[in-house]
Structures are given as C-alpha cells and as structure tokens.
Amino acid sequence: MKILVDMNLSPQWVAVLQRHGWEAIHWSSVGDGKASDRTVMEWAVNHGHIVFTHDLDFGAALAATGAKGPSVIQVRTQDVLPARLEALLVGVLKEHESILESGALVVVEESRSRIRVLPLTR
C-alpha cells in the first residue's frame, strides 16, 4: 500500500509508515505546498497512493464528486503527531488495508474509526 501524507501532517509520518512496511511520501516531496486538494487527489490517483490527511475537505470532495478514488484516511483528532496517534493509525490501517486498496474513506477518531466504501452515495 502506498500512502501520500498531506501537507497538514508532519513529514515524520513518512518514517513511521515506512517502519510498519508501507510505502509513504510526504506531499512536500512531490508537489507544491500550496496546491489545491484537487491537485493532491489527482496526483494520488495517478500514482496509486492513498491520501492521509487532517483536512475534512477531502471527504467532502469525494462525496460531492462521487469519485471512486483515491482512498482517503482522514484523522479527526486535535493532536495529529505520530507520538500520539501511531498505534491507533497503524491498527486502523492494518484492519482496513484491503478495503483501502479498493477505494474507501476511513475517518479515524480517538474513540472509533468509520469506513465508507467509494464512491460515496446517499
């Protein structure tokens, strides 16, 4: 599984994800830090990456467009540093890896995680 870490998350996440066996890259390594969410999502689709973000707009964009990808892992906590969230995120990724590879929005909160298969429909 290949993961693109969004600009709103620390580049420290790349090493954390790689240590657990996933390929990871921070957006600052491949694109403009001021790029639109749409640009980030297009890059992720074109390069086969899942987007890992703290930005709620990615889920909204998936819902508005009915897109089948990219998969998005959206963290909804105050403290988004690896020291606080590593165990939680790694557990969610391992549990939902196959569905993320197929297309999903996974929302991770400290008390629970929710998953929706793409495309998002009402």
Task: For each of the domains in the chain, give its residue range(s) and CATH number, in order of start.
Answer: 2-117 (3.40.50)
Give the per-residue pLDDT at 116.
95
Give the per-residue pLDDT at 99.
96
Give the per-residue pLDDT at 72.
98
Q: What is the pTM of this model?
A: 0.96
Give the per-residue pLDDT at 122.
63
Mean pLDDT per 10-residue section of the chain, whose length is 122 residues: 97 98 98 95 97 95 92 96 96 96 95 94 70
SS3 of the chain: CEEEECCCCCCHHHHHHHHCCCEEEEHHHCCCCCCCHHHHHHHHHHHCCEEEECCCHHHHHHHHHCCCCCCEEEECCCCCCHHHHHHHHHHHHHHHHHHHHHCEEEEECCCCEEEEECCCCC
